[in-house]
């Protein structure tokens, strides 16, 4: 965590771990298949979009939970 000038703690911005790609890897597809039992289509679509931008599964899930919810 970084401190701002006023002393407040801020979270560092999350950066993609990988390069953007056209499709999900075999592992990511398998994880999403299991993941879809517990989450909505909107959640899954957002995660897929983030993973294609280069975010790993966990980063995409955390960002999606924060922005979209379950």
Q: So what's the pLDDT on residue 18?
A: 81
**Confidence at residue 1, expressed as pLDDT on a 0 to 100 scale:** 46
Q: Where are the domains of the chain?
A: 18-67
Residues whose CB falls within 8 Å of the CB of residue 33, separated by 6 or more in sequence, listed in order: none
pTM of the entire predicted model: 0.73
DSSP-derived secondary structure for 13-61: PP--SS---SS--HHHHHHHHHHTTTS-HHHHHHHHHHHHHT--HHHHH
If we measure between CA atoms, which residue out of 21, 14, 15 comes closest to residue 53? 21
Q: What is the pLDDT along the chain (70 residues), one digit of tens a residue?
A: 445 566 555 555 778 888 888 898 899 999 999 998 999 999 999 999 999 999 989 999 999 999 888 8
Q: What contacts 56, CB < 8 A, 6 or more positions away?
A: 17, 18
């Amino acid at each position: 965590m970084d401190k701002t000038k006023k002393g407040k703690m801020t979270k560092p911005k999350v950066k993609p771990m990988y390069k953007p790609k056209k499709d999900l890897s075999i592992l990511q597809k398998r994880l999403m298949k299991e993941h879809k039992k517990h989450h909505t289509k909107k959640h899954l679509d957002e995660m897929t979009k983030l993973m294609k931008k280069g975010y790993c599964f966990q980063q995409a899930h955390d960002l999606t939970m924060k922005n979209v919810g379950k």
